[in-house]
Amino acid sequence: MEPRLPSGRWATAAMLLLLLALSGSIVEARPMGANMTGRAFIPFRVGRVTPQGWLLKQLELQAEGLGGHLAHFWDDVMNSVWIGGDADGGLHERVPYWLNGMVPLAFLLKNANSPFAYHGIKDVHQPDDQLCQANVDMQNHDITNFPVQRPEDCRQSCLNNTACVAIVLNNCTNPPTCWLKSGIGRADETTCRCFGVVKPFTAEEGIMNQTERFINHILNAQAASGWLGPDDMPTSGDMYWGNFPVLLSLAMYAEGNPTMEETIATAMLKFFQEANRRMSNVPMSDWSQARGMDFALAVQWVLENAPNGQEAFLQDFLATVQNQTLDWETWFQDFTTGASPHGVNNAQALKSSGVWYLSTGDPSFTESSKDRMRNMDDFYGMASGMFCADEILCEANERKMPSRGTELCAVVEAMFSYNTLFSVHGDVAFADRAERIAYNALPATFASPRGGDMWSHQYLQGLNEINAQVSDDHVWTHDGGDAQLYGLAPNYGCCTANFGQGWPKFANMLLYERNDGSVAVGAYGPVAGTSTNGVFVNMTTEYPYGDTVSIAVHTNYSTTLHLRIPTWAHTAQVEIDGSAVSNITAGIMNPVAIPAGKHTVLVNLKPEIRLEHWYSEETVSVHRGALMYSLPIQGSYTTLVEYAYESNDYQVLPTSEWRYALDLDFDNITSNFEFSNPGLGKDLVAFNHTAWGATIATKGRVVPNWEIAHNAAAAPPASPVCDDVQCQPTQSITLVPYGGTDLRISEFPWA
C-alpha cells in the first residue's frame, strides 16, 4: 500500500509551482477544489495518452469494427432519444454506454494520428439481393405495418419511405404483413417471418466526429431546469441512472478538450442541482440506487476540477448520493443483505468503497475494498479473473461448471472498477486484476471468421465453451438461448453499447501521476503520455506477449517512477540506463528514482508458467504472466443473420476433440510445458485467433467420459482422472491465449 497524501491534487500542484519556480519551470496553479482525500495514483488525464503498437491496433479494430459503426446502423444509437430520435427506449442507457467508450477512444486515436479519429473509412454496405432472411424476426424500431399483395411490395415500400432501412415480412398470413423498420436492432429466431436490410449504408464519419455530434447535441438540448437528456419518467427513481455514464463521458470529454471544461462543468453542476431537487422527492431506486457510485464519480470530478464556488453544495450532494445508494459494503461481506446479486451491478459496485473513500476519507473503506475482492473470488471466482454471473451471480453449487458464463458488461465494468480501486488505494492486487481481465476475459468475448476483429461479441463467455449456438436447453440459468452466440446483440443490446469502454478506459489507466509530481505505471502495455507536470513516459513493449518493457522517462525535475511489479513476477528485474535497480519486490509499487533528464528504465518481468486450482483442486488452469492459456477448439462458422457492414450473427460448432485432461507432473511444473513466443508479427493483432503471439505445448489425454450436459461441456470429471477411467494415450497438445480462441477449454481436469 502506498501512503495516501492528505490534500487535493491542486493543493500539491501549488506546492510544486513553488518548487518548480526555483528551477525556472512553469506549472499552472489551480485552485484547490475541495476537501477531497485524493487518489493514491491519479490516471493521466484523458487526452494525454497516446496508444502505440498492438494497443493502437486493438483500438483501431474497435473503431473499424462494431464500435465505430453503431451510430450508422444500430437504431438505439443512430436514432436515440438522446439526439432527438425515438429509439433507445426504456432506461435510455444505450447512448450513455456507447459514449462512455467513444469519448476516450476518440482522444486516444486523435493523439495517435489514426485516420479513424476524424475520417473513419469509406465504408459502404450494399444489401444482398435476396428479399429477406427466412426464420428471422427483429423486434422494435417499427415505422409502420400493413398488408401487402406480394412480398416484393414490402421492399418497394421501404425504398419509398426515407426513414425505412429494413423490413420484416410475415408471409404465412394471407395477405402477407409488412413492417417497415427505421434501424437495426436485435434479431430473433422465429418461424413465418423474415428480416432483410433494404437500403445501402454508407459511413465515413470518424470516431471524434461521431462523439462530438452526440456531445454537442446533448449539451445544446439541456433543459432550463438543468436536466440532461430524455425526461419521460419524472416519478421513477430509475430516471437518474442513464445520466451516470453520460456525466462520466462529459467529464472525459472536458479533460480531452479543455476549452470545453467550463461549459461542461457548468452543465454538470446544473444537472446535479436539478437531480438534487428531484431526489428529495423521488429518491434513487432500482438501477440508479444500485449504481450511485458512478454518479458520485462524476460529482467528484466537478468538485476536483471546476467547482465554481459550489464546494459545499457538491459535498452535500455527494453525501446524498452515497446515502441513496445500496449498501454494497455490507453486501460484499457475505452476499446476503445490503444489495443483490445482479452481475453487472456487482461489477460496477466493486468500486463503491473506493469512491466513498474519496468522498469521506474514512479508512474503513480501504479494508472494505480489499475484502470484497477476496470474498468475490472465494464465492464466485473463475480462472479468467472474473466471477461467475450469467445475469445473476451463480449459486455456490453452480460454480463447478466452467461452461457457465460471465456477461460482457460485467467484464468491462469490473475492469474499470478494479482500476479505480487501484487508483484510489494504490494496492497492486487491483491493478493485477484489471490487467488480467483486460488481457483475457475482454478479448475472449469477440470472434468472427476473420479471427481477431471486433465485429461480433457474445453476451456470455464461458471458460469452457464447446460451441456458440442457440441452445434452448442451456447451462446458464438467467439468459436466453442465444446468449453465447457471436453477434450484434445476442440476448440483449446492453453489451453492444457498453463493451466500447473496455479497451479505451484501460488504455487511459496504464499511466498515473501522484500529488507529489511523480509518475507511475499501473499496468503494462504500449502507450506514451505526459503528466500534468510535463513528465513524459513512453512504454515500448509487446507485453503481454513480450516479457520486457522499455520505459523512456523525460523529466525536468528529479522524480520517482513507481512501477507495479505484478504479484506473479517474483524474479522481476529492473534497470535504469543499464544499471540494475536493487530490491525490486513483487506485489507492490516499486519506487525508482529518476534524475532530471532523459532516462530509460527496462523492466524484465521474467514470468514463469504457473497453475491455478479451482473448486478445491478439481480443475486446473494454466497461466504465464498476465495471460491464461486454453485449448483452442476448431470451430465451423455459420452465418445466422446478416445486418449491415460486417455485422453478422454467427453460430460456431466444434470440429475438433475437446475432452482433454492435462497430463501433469506436479513435482516439476516447468517440465510439463514448452513455451514459445513467435511475437505479434507486423499485423500486431494481439488477439488473433490463429496467428498467436505465444503458445504453450503440453501433454493431454482424452477423457472419454467427459460428457455434454445442457449442450455444454459438463463439469470436468473429478481429478485425478484416468485412474478409474480408461483415458486415451498421452498426446501433445498446444495451448493458446484464452483471448485468442473462438471455442476452448480453460479449466481442465488433470491426470
Ligand X SMILES: *[C@@H]1O[C@H](CO)[C@@H](O)[C@H](O)[C@H]1NC(C)=O
Q: Which residues bind ligand X (CB under 6 A)?
A: 25, 35, 50, 52, 118-119, 131-132, 134, 151, 153, 156-157, 160, 171-172, 194, 204-206, 209, 319-320, 323, 361, 450-453, 528, 534, 538, 540, 556, 583, 585, 588, 668, 670-671, 683, 685, 688, 690-691
Quote the least distance from Cβ 47 to ligand X, whole Å.
14
Q: List all residues 6 or more positions away from 1 whose beta carbon is below 8 Å from its beta carbon.
A: 366, 425, 426, 427
DSSP labels for 610-661? EEEEETTTTEEEEEETTEEEEEEE-EEEEEEEE-STT-EEEEEEE-S---EE
Q: Which is nearer to ligand X, 89 or 587 (CB)?
A: 587
Determine the Cα–Cα distance for residues 662 and 747; give it in Å rounded to an integer.
10
Quote the least distance from Cβ 322 to ligand X, whole Å.
8
Question: Nearest to ligand X by Cβ — which residue?
Answer: 534
Quote the least distance from Cβ 485 to ligand X, whole Å.
19
Q: Which is nearer to ligand X, 150 or 374 (CB)?
A: 150
Q: Which is nearer to ligand X, 552 or 702 (CB)?
A: 552
Q: Which is nearer to ligand X, 585 or 638 (CB)?
A: 585
Q: Which of 168, 176, 174 is nearest to 193 (CA)?
A: 168
Q: Are 330 and 338 in contact (CB under 8 A)?
A: yes
Q: Which is nearer to ligand X, 85 or 361 (CB)?
A: 361
Q: Which is nearer to ligand X, 343 or 546 (CB)?
A: 546
Quote the least distance from Cβ 285 to ligand X, whole Å.
12
* Cell 449491415, residue located: 644
In one-letter notation, the amino acid at residue 670 is: T
Quote the least distance from Cβ 533 to ligand X, whole Å.
6
Determine the Cα–Cα distance for residues 693 and 690; give it in Å rounded to an integer.
9
Q: Which is nearer to ligand X, 151 or 480 (CB)?
A: 151
Quote the least distance from Cβ 463 to ligand X, whole Å.
23
Q: Give the phi and the psi of residue 327 in degrees, each rounded to 5.
A: -85, 75
Quote the least distance from Cβ 670 to ligand X, whole Å.
5
Q: Which is nearer to ligand X, 556 or 567 (CB)?
A: 556
Determine the Cα–Cα distance for residues 467 and 484; give it in Å rounded to an integer.
8
Q: Which is nearer to ligand X, 452 or 737 (CB)?
A: 452
Quote the least distance from Cβ 135 to ligand X, whole Å.
9
* Cell 479505451, residue located: 504
Quote the least distance from Cβ 691 to ligand X, whole Å.
4
Q: What angle do CA 307, 309, 312 make, to 5 degrees?
A: 85
Q: Which is nearer to ligand X, 394 or 551 (CB)?
A: 551
Quote the least distance from Cβ 232 to ligand X, whole Å.
26
Q: Which is nearer to ligand X, 33 or 101 (CB)?
A: 33
C-alpha dist (Å) from residue 695 to 297, 559, 673: 40, 39, 10
Q: Give the phi and the psi of residue 645 in degrees, each rounded to 5.
A: 50, -130
Spell 174-186 as b/e; 16+ CB within 10 A means b.
Answer: eebbbbbbbbbbb
565 DSSP β-pair partners? none
Quote the least distance from Cβ 672 to ligand X, whole Å.
8
Helix, strand, coil percentages in the chain from 3-state DSSP, rounded to 5: 35, 25, 40
In one-letter notation, the amino acid at residue 452 is: G
Determine the Cα–Cα distance for residues 341 and 237; give it in Å rounded to an integer.
20
Q: What angle do CA 498, 502, 508 make, to 5 degrees?
A: 130
DSSP letter at 163 equals T
Q: Which is nearer to ligand X, 110 or 400 (CB)?
A: 110
Quote the least distance from Cβ 349 to ligand X, whole Å.
18
Q: Are 564 and 520 in contact (CB under 8 A)?
A: yes
In one-letter notation, the amino acid at residue 14 is: A
Q: Are 87 and 76 in contact (CB under 8 A)?
A: yes
